[in-house]
Amino acid sequence: MSNKTITRDQLATLLDRLVEKNRVIAPVSDNRGVVRFGEIQKAGDIAWGFDQAKVPAKSHFLPQTEELYRYDTSGGELKIEPVPPPRPAVIFGLHPCDLKAVAALDPVFDGAFKDVYYLNKRERTVIIGLSCRKVLPTCFCRSYGIEPTDGQGADLMLTEAGDGYYVEILTPKGEALIRDNAPLFSDAGVAEGRRAKDALAGELAGQFQLNVDLTGVKAKVDTMFEHPYWQELARKCLGCGICTYLCPTCHCFDIIESHSGHRGCRLRCWDSCMFADFTLHTSSHNPRSTKKERVRNRFLHKLSYHDERYGLAGCVGCGRCIAECPVNIDITQIIADIEEVD
């Protein structure tokens, strides 16, 4: 199927229509103006002018709190009630770095151990990507080989063009969505849409203020496990964990139980390797008992371990951790430092 165009009004109609049979997730602004991916009831709920959602799209595939199952022990007998399978979903508005981040999460949950909670949502979700409109001062995705108009990882990729959007159809899932809503899409203006996308790509490429050279960084950081640099860096870190909560590729979680009387449920909740008790053993031994070990782990994970395990970068250059760290710890500066230190 060849690429299409869609007007702004028709896109709103499409999203309104998709809400009838799917959970539709998109960037929404909460009452404090924080943009996060959340469920919408209508296209008008979307924070249309957003540049980057502060809370990334991982919150759909790996929710901050997720029920795994319910149980009931009344009558002395254990009854387990599984959670129903997720409704089909459409997630709209992922920028290229966030598309790449989902690809980085996939092998974590689809390895030797299959995580059905993640995989069911992944399988039943259509991803509609959206090219960036501008490059933020904290963006450095290009250093990771990602362009702000790349559609890799999306089922459909939309780019603003004129009064509407140029629509690239990238997978059978995307094709099915177009087929089911064919009257809303058009073949008119496709060549102009392609040209608008190329022009935007060129313009955005010139807007990057942050660029890092990753050549040799993994090899160097792999030799730095005992380096005093981590101690210095840790003195600054507050251990608040915001960098990991907002990072689209971070995926640590804890399992807890919530119960009342004989009934309860088991929950999976986001956790952070920056928290002191994250690696605390029942024996009270903690292999990462100081901030030095925790900070070191975070950066080794981003710059080495994820690549080693999955052959994919653990950072996509979205810049959220740079923008939100309360003490200005900046991963691009750390990459530069790693290149410099003896």
Nearest CA among 250, 241, 243 for reference residue 61:
250
Quote the CA–CA distance of 51 and 340 in Å, as a whole number: 33
Q: Is 148 in the site for ligand SF4 (CB under 6 A)?
A: no
Q: In what order do the strands lie in the sheet with 4-7?
A: 4-7, 164-169, 156-161, 125-130, 89-94, 23-29, 35-40
Quote the CA–CA distance of 189 and 187 in Å, as a whole number: 7
Mask: binding to ligand SF4, 272-301, rule CB under 6 A, as x and -?
Answer: --x---------------------------
Helix (H) or strand (E) holding 119: helix 116-123
Smallest separation (angstroms) from ligand SF4 to the CB of 128: 21
Q: Is 317 in the site for ligand SF4 (CB under 6 A)?
A: yes
Q: Is 249 in the site for ligand SF4 (CB under 6 A)?
A: yes
Q: Is 102 in the site for ligand SF4 (CB under 6 A)?
A: no
Q: Which of 240, 265, 267, 336 binds ligand SF4 (CB under 6 A)?
A: 240
Q: Which two structure tokens, joined as six digits, stand for 285?
A: 């031994």
Nearest CA among 181, 131, 158 for reference residue 13:
181
Q: Residues in contact with ligand SF4, total (CB under 6 A)?
A: 25
Q: What 3-state class would DSSP assign to 127?
A: strand
Q: Which of 96, 129, 164, 241 binds ligand SF4 (CB under 6 A)?
A: 241
Residues present in the chain in total: 342
Please identify, using beta-carbon distances, which residue of 288 and 302 lies nearer to ligand SF4: 302
Q: Which of 34, 239, 309, 341 binds ligand SF4 (CB under 6 A)?
A: 239
Smallest separation (angstroms) from ligand SF4 to the CB of 268: 20
Binding site for ligand SF4 (CB under 6 A): 237-243, 246-249, 274, 302, 315-321, 325-327, 329, 331
